[in-house]
Every structure is written in structure tokens, then in C-alpha cells.
Amino acid sequence: MRSAKIVVRWTEGLHLLPAAKLVQVAKRFHSTICLRCGGRIADPRSILSIVALCATMGATLELEASGDDEQDAAQAVEQVFLSSDGIDLPTLPDVAEVPTLFVERTTRE
């Protein structure tokens, strides 16, 4: 098992954008990953679970990873927290690569 303490450095805290990045990163690994904050436990594969931590700037999170690729999983999660805003890592797709939904708009006469 690999464990580490991580401090939330973002002024907005652990909000939806870095939470989405954490989900994207955590889903690449087979290990069990867990984040703890103030008695609450989150599965980094669930965005609602992460946001429910209510981790504000300066909060200390405990990271635990166990499994075949625990070292890589823990390191990848730590990298998200080391990024300046939680989303500026190269694994995020460019806007042009993100599929868009087609919305048909109708006008009333």
C-alpha cells in the first residue's frame, strides 16, 4: 500500500474541474485508490464522491493506493494536485477533440 498526504493548493479548493481530472486519471489504474479529508472518504473514480469531501484551499488529504499499479496510481493522483489549477496536465483533450452535442433549435412563429 502506498500512502501520502496532499495539500489542496487551489484558491477555489477541490472543485469540479480538478475533480473531473482526478476521475480521468484514477480510471486509468486497477489499484484501489482512496482520498480522505476530515473524516470523509472519497473514491477518486467518482466525481460526486470527490466534491463531497468539501476540501477547501489548505485542506490536507490522505491518499491511499493499493494494488498492482499502486505506485503509478498514487504518483498520477499526486501530479494532479501539483498542477497549478488541477487541469493543466497533458492528458486532457484539446477543445477541438471534445465531442459536442448537436442541439436543434426551433423558433416559434
Distances (CA, A) of 21 to 11, 47, 95, 108: 17, 9, 15, 40
How far from the centroid of its chain's Cα atoms is residue 37's Cα?
14
User: Do the beta carbons of residue 24 and residue 44 sit within 8 Å?
Assistant: no
The domains found in the chain, sorted by start residue, are 2-97 (3.30.1340.10)
Residue 65 to residue 53: CA distance in whole angstroms? 18
Query: 72-108 pLDDT, tens per residue?
Result: 999 999 999 988 665 554 444 444 444 444 444 445 5
Q: Answer whether residue 65 shows pLDDT above 80.
A: yes
Residue 85 to residue 42: CA distance in whole angstroms? 20
